[in-house]
Structure 1
Amino acid sequence: MAALGALRHCRAPGRLRPPHPTAGGGSSSSRSSSSRSSSSSSSGGGSSAGSSRAAAAATAAATAATTAATTAATLRLAALRGLRSWLCGAEEAAGWSARLQRYRLRLDSAYRGSVRELYGPDVAAAFFVLSCGGSARFQGRDEWLRPDARGGCGPELLRLRDLPVVAVDLSGSAVDYGGLDDLARLTQLQHLDLSGCRRVDDWSLARLHTLGASLRELSLAGCPRVTERGLAALHHLRRLRRLDVSDLPAVRHPGLTRILLEEMLPRCQVVGMDYADGLEPPPPPAARRPP
């Protein structure tokens, strides 16, 4: 009877309690899988964001480097352009200065023509020398007449019109062939200094033949345009006693030129050139073999 009661109790459907479904376990597994998926997605998103930031930083650095290089190149071109314009301006200014100086010399030459007619060739020559920044000395006077603060000459020049000019210093001036016309009219000029005159050339030296009867000292030191041909034209200066021909870069054979000058002007002391300048040393004598 007890067994039958137990059997009935087991078959009664109302008394049986089914176990809880495994939905809770499935939800937990799904939550774990979703958390894994979310973590994996978040980790993937973080890595992609980091790579994007690195690429953006690299792009920004490349852009900055390109901008800096472009700016440096632009500044360099601007500096070179400015330097070129400055050099062109300086060259143009130098050209204008030379043209203005030549124009001033022509005007002075025209003015000296009228001065020569009124006061004679010596006053006109002295006026030309002073206008070039040089100095002149008249006969019987120890002091040199020099230009005043404005670059001109004072009334003292007119008081010396009865005296001849015996010495002229035009060193470093812009005198050229045309400017020597006034000096060529001086009949008692004894000393002439043309050292450092960059425009004195061979034609200018040929213009000095009219001074052969009086000129005793002549300096041509540092005249870059003087060559052997111009020095050969000095044979007319028979009374020359001293000739300075030092530092003449256009003379190729200074030693031979000195020999030529001493043959042309035997009474003149030639200074500034050595016999050995421009000459090749003789070959050493051949060694003799012992007998």
Structure 2
Amino acid sequence: MYKFVNGSRFTRQSVLRQCCCGMSKNSDTEDPGKALVVKDLRSKLKESNSVTSDQMQWRTSWHQEQGEHYSFLRTFYKESNNRSLLQKIQSPIDFSPSGIKKWWGKKVDEYEIISQSYIPERHQILGNELAAAHFIVYRGGAVKFFNEDKWIKANEYKEYSLPRHYQTDKYLQAIDCSNMNLRYEGLVNIRGLKKVEWLSLNGCDNMDDWCLDTISNIFSHSLLYLDLRNCPKITYRGIGALYKMQNLKILYLDDFLKSTVYELTCLMLQEVNPDLDIKSDPVTFEIS
């Protein structure tokens, strides 16, 4: 509280400071007991003036006071919301043909990533084998099951014949993803496959080293044939990840002599797996 004396405002600390000063002036003429009182008042005044930073944080934010509301609303909160909004507001809009083309390509990529996401209900109804077959065939690929001679592929109207419910005797033997727009996010749909022996990624532009490392983990126990031609994003790092495929027999590449590091990686891969045959000559494979 403030006190007004003769038009002046005095706080508790100012009054205490004046008392200490007045008593200190007469300390020489008074008894030693008053000197101890002055010393004690000075120490208390010093402690009242020294406030730490922790003591200054007397107010907490609303989400710390109400943790249950914070945890519920956290689902709709992202750290990048304000940043992305400010970037969109401050960045000029490019209406040039190249800018519109770039914007449209970005939207198409976002749609492809969302469309290739994992759908648990599909795998619960069809099982991992048939769910992966539907995922591949619908997007332009082809599949072949064990004990069946024909490949299953969609026609120009995206019509194909695959079971709509789970069957115990259906196991994929071969998958052809040639020229598919397959992405890293779509590989989760083929994680549960058990017996795939043949895989072609020829012409998959979005396949990179991360994708190849994931594929080597999925098919490390079963894959015998792998085609990686026309995959420009795959480097020697991705080729080195194939050491996990101990049963791999045939590996097709564009040119394993394109760089010294690439060639050494292929040689090391053959040293780890002596039965592996790495080829780079063109091969034609027709699906009937």
Answering whether residue 262 of structure 2 is matched by residue 254 of structure 1, we say yes
Residue 186 (structure 1) aligned with residue 189 (structure 2): no
Closer, same or farther: CA 210–159 of 1 in aligned 2, 3 Å: closer
Say which of 96, 103, 107 aligns to 1:92.
103
1:252: how far off? 6.1
Q: What displacement does 1:131 show?
A: 2.5
| 2-structure distance, mates of 1:194, 1:130 | 14
**One-letter code of the match for 2:266?**
R
Relative distance call for 1:271 and 1:249 in structure 2 (3 A) is closer
Instruction: Tell me which residue corresponds to 1:114.
Output: 121
Given the two structures, how large is their TM-score scaled by the length of structure 2? 0.58
Deviates more, 1:127-136 or 1:95-104: 95-104
Distance apart, 1:175 and its partner CA: 1.5
Alignment of 1:210-225 (within 5 A): 210-225=218-233
Aligned residue for 2:278, secondary structure, equals strand
* Aligned position for 1:76: none
Q: CA deviation at 1:149?
A: 3.5
Say which structure is richer in helix. Answer: 1
Tell me, what secondary structure is at the counterpart of 1:162?
Answer: coil
Cα shift readout 1:153-175 (whole Å, capped 9, x = no counterpart): 44546586621000000111121
Distance 1:123 1:171 in 2: 19
d(CA) in 1 for partners of 2:155, 2:259: 37
Cα 1:117/1:160, change in 2 over 3 Å:
closer
Give the aligned residue type for 2:275: R
Write the distance in 2 (CA, Å) between the matches of 1:198 and 1:264.
Answer: 28
Following the alignment from structure 2 to structure 1, what is the Cα–Cα distance between the partners of residues 180 and 138? Answer: 10
Extract structure 1 runs of 4+ deviating beyond 4 A. Answer: 155-161, 247-252
CA distance in 1, matches of 2:173, 2:134: 14
Counterpart Cα distance in 2 of 1:221 and 1:93: 28
Alignment of 1:1-291 (within 5 A): 85-106=96-117, 109-110=118-119, 113-151=120-158, 153-156=160-163, 158=165, 162-208=169-215, 209-247=217-255, 253-272=261-280
The one-letter code of the counterpart of 2:218 is T
Structure 1 unmatched ranges of 5 or more: 1-83, 274-291
Q: Residue in 1 aligned with 2:36? A: none
Which deviates more, 128-137 or 243-252?
Answer: 243-252
Query: Take 2:267 and 2:152, find their aligned partners in 1: how far apart are those partners?
Result: 37
Matching residue's letter, 1:173: M
Partner residue in 2 for 1:50 = none
Q: Decide whether the 8 Å contact of 2:239 with 2:266 is kept in 1.
A: no
C-alpha spacing 1:148/1:250, structure 2 compared with 1 (3 Å): same
Structure 2 vs 1, CA of residues 237 and 117 (structure 1 numbering), >3 Å: closer, same or farther?
same
Count of residue pairs brought into register by the alignment: 186
Output the TM-score relative to the length of structure 1. Answer: 0.58
Counterparts of 2:102 and 2:112, CA distance in 1? 15
Pick closer, same or farther for the CA change 1:135–1:156 going to 2, 3 Å.
same
Question: For the residues of structure 1 that align with 2:115 and 2:193, how far apart are their CA atoms?
Answer: 22
Q: Report the CA distance shift for 1:157/1:220 in structure 2 as closer, same or farther (over 3 A).
A: farther
Checking the alignment, whether the CA contact within 8 Å between 1:130 and 1:152 is kept in structure 2 is no
Report if the CA contact (8 A) 1:119-1:161 is conserved.
no
Shift in alpha-carbon separation, 1:124–1:202, aligned structure 2, 3 A = same
The alignment yields a C-alpha RMSD, in angstroms, of: 2.5
Counterpart residue type for residue 128 of structure 1 = F
Unmatched tracts of structure 2, length 5 or more:
1-94, 282-288
Report the identity percentage. Answer: 25
Whole-Å separation in 1 of the counterparts to 2:168 and 2:136: 15
